[in-house]
Amino acid sequence: MSLVHFKTLMHKIPMALRSNLRTDLTSVDAVTFQGKGNMRRLRVLASALLLGVSATAFATADAEFAIRWDPSEGGPQTTKEVLAALSLKNGKEKDFVVQYFEVNQPSNAPGDFRAIARERRARSYTDATYKVRGLNPFPEAGPLHKWECPLSIPALSKDEVDVSWTDEQEPKRAFSRSCTAEADIAHAMPKELGAKPLGCISKMHRIQADGIKLEQWDLQSGKRLFEVSTNGRDSQRDLERFLRRIVDPLLNQKVRPLKDSKTELGSAC
């Protein structure tokens, strides 16, 4: 991203919102951006400003910030190396077996929204999740706005913005609405949803430390993937914190971020 591209991006923001960002383009002109590190900071600034606009135009939402990579392409190769790169001590650990399910798609959902189901099993715990996910914010009216969890037993529902760092450009954002019940798919999912296993069974090892989740995924294909994530609000401040605390240290370790979401990676056999 050049300085000209950055300024063009800024001018796409409505003036009423741009003024709320407290950003002076003349002060940007005075900065000389040289080298990979500073160019990354310029991209980060542009991305943060766009998220700031989102938080102003819409209510600030809960968000999960994540970065994923394939260690065969570079970066830390083990959970121990990831923890060291992030200056984390070992935390709470848990193992899961994860399987994704195809479900009947909502007939009244906009075209870019897709539904999928997931079953997750641990030693003494099982849960089932139904999720609707799309690349645009949920409509402020209509069926999805009035959406209710379709699971047949009590479940915990949440709306979330998934913010994934995929490369050195702006982050990829998706909007999800989901509900999770403490039961397996057979007991939680109504038959009319037509849940069918996709045949992708993955093993996942999770470590939680200092508000950060590290997951090692061993996919059925034989691939191993890592994801590091943290929760916050869909805001400029929390994006910058994620970039500073997680993304920068991992990019310095030669991580090459993946573009696909965890759902896409885990459900592809």
Six token digits for residue 132 = 């609707």
Residues 71 and 133 in one domain: yes
Identify the pLDDT of residue 93.
97
Q: What is the pLDDT of residues 29-73, one digit of tens each?
A: 333 333 444 445 445 444 444 444 443 334 568 999 999 999 999
pLDDT at 19: 35
CA atoms of 247 and 207, how far apart (whole Å): 17
Q: In the prediction, which pLDDT does 139 show?
A: 75
Confidence grade of residue 185 (pLDDT, cut at 50, 70, 90): very high
Residue 222 in this model has a pLDDT that exceeds 80:
yes
For residue 261, what pLDDT band results from cuts at 50, 70 and 90?
Answer: confident
For residue 112, the number of C-alpha atoms closer than 13 Å in the C-beta half-sphere is 9
The answer to whether 120 touches 217, Cβ cutoff 8 Å, is: no
Work out how many domains the chain is built from and give that number.
2
Both 101 and 123 in one domain: the answer is yes
Q: Are residues 23 and 99 in the same domain?
A: no
Same domain, 128 and 198: yes
Q: Report the percent of the chain where pLDDT is more than 90.
A: 61
Question: What's the token pair of residue 264?
Answer: 């896409």
Show the domain range for 50.
3-57
pLDDT of 10 over the 70 cut: no
Same domain, 245 and 120: yes
pTM for this one? 0.77
Supply the pLDDT for residue 5. 40
What pLDDT does residue 141 have?
63
Residue 145's pLDDT is what? 63
Q: Treating both helix axes as pointing N-terminal to C-terminal, what angle do 3-11 and 35-57 enclose, rounded to 10 degrees?
A: 0
113 lies in the same domain as 20: no
> Same domain, yes or no, for 152 and 184?
yes
pLDDT at 136 over 50: yes
Q: How confident is the model at residue 167 (pLDDT cuts 50, 70, 90)?
A: confident
> Which has the higher per-residue pLDDT, 90 or 152?
152
Rounded to the nearest integer, the mean pLDDT of the chain is 81
Burial zone of 215 (CB within 10 Å; 0-12 exposed, 13-18 middle, 19+ buried): buried
pLDDT at 242 over 80: yes
Q: What is the pLDDT of residues 75-84, one digit of tens each?
A: 999 999 999 9
pLDDT of 90-102, one tens digit each?
Answer: 899 999 999 999 9
